[in-house]
Each structure stands twice: as C-alpha cells, then as structure tokens.
Amino acid sequence: MDEARLSEYPFLTKAAEYVAGMDSTIDEILISRGYGMARSRAKSRVIQAIKGEIRNEDMGLDIPELLSYPIARILVSCIDDAFLVRRYALAEAKFANSRMGKEDDNILTEIGQDFNINASIAEKGFRIHFTDYIRGAAGMRALKWKLVNRTLESGYVNITKEQYARLLQEAIRVRILKALPLDVPDNFCQAMADDIKEIRTCLEEIKKEFDEEGFGEVEPGDFPPCIVHLLSSAQGGVNLAHSARFALTSFLLNIGLSVDQVVQMFNVSPDFNEEMTHYQVDHIAGSTGTSYKPPSCTTMITYGNCYNKDEICRNIGHPLSYYRKKKKTHQEKLAESAIHESNMPESDKHEGTIHESSTHENSSVKRRDIKNNE
C-alpha cells in the first residue's frame, strides 16, 4: 500500500512503523502547535466514536489524519473506561469498513495479511482457508457466519467482498480493543487535560442517555442483576451469546418495551444488522404467533447468564418475578411516603426547609468565626 494511503488504515503495522520512524517525538506531537490539527482530529475521532460513528474529515493532509489515530488511542487510554474502549474500537473498525467496501481487492488482501488472514481473490469475491474463516468469524453471532452454513471446497470458503470486509472489520476491532488501554505516562495525559475533560463530558452524557433512554413506565432501577449486566454489556458493544441476547430481548419485551426500542438497544453491538435484529426481535415478540417468555433462573444459570445474584434472588425463580417483586416494594415505599407526607401538619412539611436555612446560618456563623480567628 502506498504510504500516502496509510492514514486511511492507521491500525496497520506499516502505519505504526511509519509513525515510529518520524523525526518528531510523541512529546512534541502532544504539545507543539504544529501538530494542533492532528490533536484536534484525534479528539473529534474519539467524540465521534462515543456518539457512534467516526466520520471522514477531509483535512487535505495525510499526516495529521495519520497521527490523529495514535493520539486518539492515548486520549482513550488516559480516560481508561471499558465502555469507551469498546465503543472506540468498534467505531474505528466500522470506519475502516466504510472504506474497505469500496476498496481495490488487492488492498483488501494486503490488509488481511497484516492480520494473518490469507485470502485470495476469487471470481465472486474472496477464497479463504476455513481456519482463517473460523478465527475471523469467532466474534460474529449471526447464524449465517457459522461454518456449517458455508460451502466448504477443499478446505476453503468462498465469501463475497462485503463479507470479507466484514471479517476484516472484526479483526480490526479485536486488535484495537486488545491493545487498549495503553500504559500512558501521566505527563501525556496532563498535556491533553482540556481535550480529556471534553471527551469525559461527552462520555457521561451518552452513558446517561443509555440509562434513561426510552424506558417509559419501565423501571430500569428494578431490573434483576443478570439483566443489568447483559444490558450494560450490550450497550457497551459486547457481542452477546445467542442465549444472552434471547434472555435480554425477551425480558425487555415482556416488561413493555417496544420492538423498535429493543432493536435500537443493540445498535452498538459489533455485528449489528438492523434488518436482521429487527426480524429476530419481532420473532421473539410474537410476529409468528408465538411470543416467548424469558428463561427461568435455572436456565439462566445453566447458560452462564446469571450474574451478581443478590438477596432478592434467593426467594425468586424467574427474572420477571424479581422485577415484579422489586417494583412492587419500590411502589409500596413511594405510596407509604406519600401517605406519611399527606398526614403531616402543614408546618412540618417545611421542616426540611427550616433545617436547611438553620444549617446555612450555622455555617455562616462558623465562617465568621474562622475569619475572626484570622
């Protein structure tokens, strides 16, 4: 691949070697005004990844774009948040895929070799050895990726260009994910403190959105621990096993989420395919006449989907029972405090306010005392 194009695939070994061979040190790149454009692009790279998609920003220069990748990895490492790492790795891999789909076949073969995936150009796409295929498709859950659903010819699998690019996307995601967080010296993070602050704010906003988004009357705070775990994994971009996806989907549908809300919840998973996910969620919701209940705790335990059991789990046998029980207790407590409040004399209802103002008075007295002592 031409050096001028390395900025399009900055995760390749050749790109890393090119950056390592540059005259400037990493300290200079993180501080010098001459690299401001690269740092700014690095920040937007991470923020766009948090929001779900890294976009092409034509800066007209390859070096800032190329350097923005290692700087972005440093930013992500300084923040050191598992949710961010997963989202960033996925967004970088998808960004690469958006280019690979239109790429020359020889370039795709070269990218594959960097990941030890040996593929040859075939009449209708690519021909890949089944061991490379299994390794590449290991993280993909959709049934079409299972080797049994492929035609094997003398140990080789034929796949389309789009499918080959998708396999490469997964290999890129895993490479980026495994390498992060980097062991970054504190002074590097300090040098980029303002950018880090901005990224953190964006990250917190997105996390909050995930917590609050679209649950209507549903009470996420009353979810059983297994569902909390599966939900945060799915929203953090973890590719859930089929049994876990089924448990999570059927639970959410049964407590009142719509098919669309559940589909959107999966749109950060590495092999998200809206059409396919919609079909599967619709199926579990009962489009064929049979709607499904989530698995019992016994089945959840058998499939390794029971996480972080708590006290309530001791007396229930089903995640839905957990939810009903906790929600009922929650509502009873709310009702009790409402009754308590309505039975109070009017003057006592403002007790909190009176205490608050007296605390302010006390603290102002103390402040004065300190000042006087000075």
Shortest Cβ 312–ligand SF4 spacing (Å):
7
Residues 224-243, mask of contacts with ligand SF4 (x by CB under 6 A): xxx-----------------
C-alpha closest to that of 23 among 60, 58, 63: 63
Contact between 42 and 68 (Cβ < 8 Å) = yes
C-alpha distances in Å from residue 315, one per residue of 114, 294, 309, 318, 329: 53, 18, 11, 10, 14
Q: How far is residue 115's CA from residue 14's CA, in Å, rounded to a whole number?
A: 12
Q: With CB under 6 A as the contact rule, which of the stretches 90-98, 128-136, 218-226, 357-365 interacts with ligand SF4?
A: 218-226
Shortest Cβ 301–ligand SF4 spacing (Å):
6
294 touches ligand SF4 by CB under 6 A = no
Shortest Cβ 308–ligand SF4 spacing (Å):
6
Q: How far is residue 358's CA from residue 308's CA, in Å, rounded to a whole number?
A: 43
Q: With CB under 6 A as the contact rule, which of the stretches 93-101, 222-230, 267-275, 276-284 interacts with ligand SF4?
A: 222-230
C-alpha distances in Å from residue 201, one per residue of 36, 68, 196, 284: 21, 20, 9, 37
Which lies closer to ligand SF4 via its Cβ, residue 49 or residue 231? 231
Contact between 97 and 8 (Cβ < 8 Å) = no
Shortest Cβ 324–ligand SF4 spacing (Å):
11
Shortest Cβ 286–ligand SF4 spacing (Å):
23
Interface with ligand SF4 (CB under 6 A), residue from 283, 309, 324, 325: 309
- Amino acid symbol at 229: H
Q: With CB under 6 A as the contact rule, which of the stretches 61-69, 89-97, 220-228, 269-277 interacts with ligand SF4?
A: 220-228
297 touches ligand SF4 by CB under 6 A = yes
At residue 157, φ and ψ (nearest 5 deg) are -115, 135
Contact between 114 and 1 (Cβ < 8 Å) = no
93 touches ligand SF4 by CB under 6 A = no
313 touches ligand SF4 by CB under 6 A = yes
322 touches ligand SF4 by CB under 6 A = yes
Q: How far is residue 71's CA from residue 78's CA, in Å, rounded to a whole number?
A: 11
Which lies closer to ligand SF4 via its Cβ, residue 180 or residue 313? 313
Q: With CB under 6 A as the contact rule, which of the stretches 92-100, 179-187, 219-227, 236-244 interacts with ligand SF4?
A: 219-227
- Amino acid symbol at 60: G
Shortest Cβ 309–ligand SF4 spacing (Å):
5
In sequence order, the β-bridge partners of residue 121 are: 126
Which lies closer to ligand SF4 via its Cβ, residue 207 or residue 324? 324
Which lies closer to ligand SF4 via its Cβ, residue 328 or residue 368? 328
Instruction: Enter the tokens of residue 22.
Output: 């540059």
C-alpha closest to that of 16 among 175, 200, 199, 138: 175
Contact between 293 and 300 (Cβ < 8 Å) = no
Shortest Cβ 250–ligand SF4 spacing (Å):
13
If binding means CB under 6 A, how many residues of this protein chain bind ligand SF4? 11
320 touches ligand SF4 by CB under 6 A = no
Judged by DSSP in three states, 300 sits in helix
DSSP state of 294: P
Residues in the site for ligand SF4, rule: CB under 6 A? 224-226, 297, 300, 306-307, 309, 313, 319, 322
